[in-house]
Structure 1
Amino acid sequence: MILVIDVGNTNITYGIFKGEKLVTSFRMVSKMTHTSDEYGIKLLEFLHVNEIKKEEIEGVMIASVVPQLMHALVNAILKYIGKKPYIVGPGIKTGIKIAIDNPREAGPDLIVDAVAGYELYGGPVLVIDYGTATTYIIVNEKGEFFTGVVAPGIRISAKALWEDTAKLPEIEIKKPSSILAKETISSMQAGLIYGQIGQTKYIVNEMKRESGFANMKVVATGGLGRLIAEETEEIDIYDPTLTLKGLQILYEKNRRSKPQLNDFEDSDRPE
């Protein structure tokens, strides 16, 4: 079995794979204040609940967009699982070419999504990830990740509404019964959801037009992706575990090489 970890700005998602099958997964909130012991104990509890012994974990792959969490998280893996994790970044074998102007600017989350989209669905493919930010990337038929769009995610937009306006309340993010809202909460819900649907339709169609890949497959993932995918014909497939699958694929591509942890393996540094 292998452990994969997707560290996002909002949540950390853990997954356990046996071969290519995702056995189980869980999430916890991304917090800068967690120590390596807190991460390690939570991870052991997760394994215990799912009747998995830590000795069954053969390897670990991590992708993170929150560098500040990595020291504690990596040390938790070293101390409690006894494995050196692979970390998505320079030196990792991906099987795709990062063909943007500055490849080092490509975030680990985008690389994982690009690998998963291309390996599982072929190219050209457009992958949309509805996370803290909403990202759109294209991988062509040659396996080249050559373009991407980053937009505010639904939660960021919602948070801006209730934090930066004096009278708008914090609301549940869901589709209202009608876009013709008659009170504040449903008005905000309509703006957030239908605004994201409209954004998706326009960006997908423009990316198809300018790339020339009019018939490329569009794959969506991310926590709120299902809500948007159900409302637009532009999305062909909703795959909620696409990123975890991408991490599993990357582990298989790198498992015979030695993990390079650099600064993350100094367990004596203060947390």
Structure 2
Amino acid sequence: MLLAIDVGNTNTMFAVVDHGEIVHRWRISTQASRTSDEYMVWLTQLMEIDGVDRSKVGRVVISTVVPTTLFNLERMARRGFGIDPLVVTKDLDLGVGIEIAHPEQVGMDRLVNCVAVGDRHEGDFIIIDFGTATTFDIFVGNAYTGGIIAPGINLSAEALYVAAAQLPRVAVAPPRGGKAKGFDTVSAMQSGIFFGYLAMIEGLVARLKAEATGPMKVLATGGLAVLFEPYTRVIDVVDVDLTVRGLTIIDERNRR
């Protein structure tokens, strides 16, 4: 079995992959100060609860956009599983091109998503990843060719609450009834946050498609993808496990 670890700015995903199928997923908040022992205690308990035999984990692959977490995750893999993990970098065989002026600036999570799309889909794509930041990645001709980085919706909602003294903290969700017009403070805020963000997504997708030289599909990933998909026609495919699938492909390609 493969243990795939995807470290984001807010959360870290641990997923167990068995014969190409994702069988278990666990999340923990990303903290640079978390020790290898803390990771191991937390992960071992969850594996026991879900009936996962830790001794059957034969490979570990790690992708991180928070470099300070890497040392303790590698140490956890070696001490807890007796495995030297595969750390995803641009020096590996990714199977996709990077066609921008400064390839070193591209986050590994964005390239991992491109790897998964290139392996599972045909054609050119706009990949929207809803995370701490919302990213739009342009995948054309089996290569990453650029993209957009916008503040994530949770970050935007929190900033509104922090900056405005009389506004409450609200959940990121469409207002009750699904109408844009709000009838109280909470519904007005939810409408502005949710539908305003949705309008940004649709507007940026329209601009990217207008700049493209051919047809493009839109794939959404990240935990909030399923929240937005019912309210817009611009999203063609939702795959919340896209990054883990990409890590699995990279591991297979580089372990041969």
TM bucket normalised to smaller: over 0.9
Q: Per-residue displacement from partner, 1:175-231 (whole Å, max 9, x unpaired)?
A: 102211021111111111111111111111111110223x32211011111111111
Normalising by structure 1, we get a TM-score of: 0.90
Name the counterpart of 2:227.
227
Q: Per-residue displacement from partner, 1:111-142 (whole Å, max 9, x unpaired)?
A: 111111121112311111011100011111x3
What's the CA shift for 1:73?
Answer: 1.8
Name the counterpart of 2:188.
187
Aligned-pair identity (%): 35
Report SS of the residue matched to 1:139.
strand
Q: Per-residue displacement from partner, 1:60-115 (whole Å, max 9, x unpaired)?
A: 11111111222222211111111111112132210000111111111011011111
1:232-247 counterparts in 2 under 5 A? 232-247=232-247
Verify: 1:157 aligned to 2:156, yes or no: yes
Q: What is the RMSD of the two structures over their aligned residues, measured on CA atoms?
A: 1.2
The CA distance in 2 between the partners of 1:80 and 1:95, in whole Å, is 30
Name the counterpart of 1:218.
218
The CA distance in 2 between the partners of 1:150 and 1:120, in whole Å, is 24
Name the counterpart of 2:8.
8
5+ residue gaps, structure 1, are 257-271
The CA distance in 2 between the partners of 1:8 and 1:192, in whole Å, is 23
Letter of the aligned partner of 1:51 in structure 2? G
Name the counterpart of 1:265.
none
Verify: 1:35 aligned to 2:40, yes or no: no
Normalising by structure 2, we get a TM-score of: 0.95
1:31-180 counterparts in 2 under 5 A? 31-140=31-140, 142-176=141-175, 177=177, 178-180=179-181
Runs of 4+, deviation exceeding 4 Å: none
1:194-209 counterparts in 2 under 5 A? 194-209=195-210
**Higher relative contact order (Cα pairs below 8 Å, separated by 6+ residues):** 1
Equivalenced residue count is 254
What's the CA shift for 1:163?
Answer: 1.3
The CA distance in 1 between the partners of 2:117 and 2:184, in whole Å, is 40
The CA distance in 2 between the partners of 1:135 and 1:125, in whole Å, is 13
Report SS of the residue matched to 1:148.
strand
Report SS of the residue matched to 1:157.
helix
The CA distance in 1 between the partners of 2:13 and 2:158, in whole Å, is 22
The CA distance in 1 between the partners of 2:239 and 2:90, in whole Å, is 27
What's the CA shift for 1:32?
Answer: 2.7
Letter of the aligned partner of 2:209 in structure 1? K
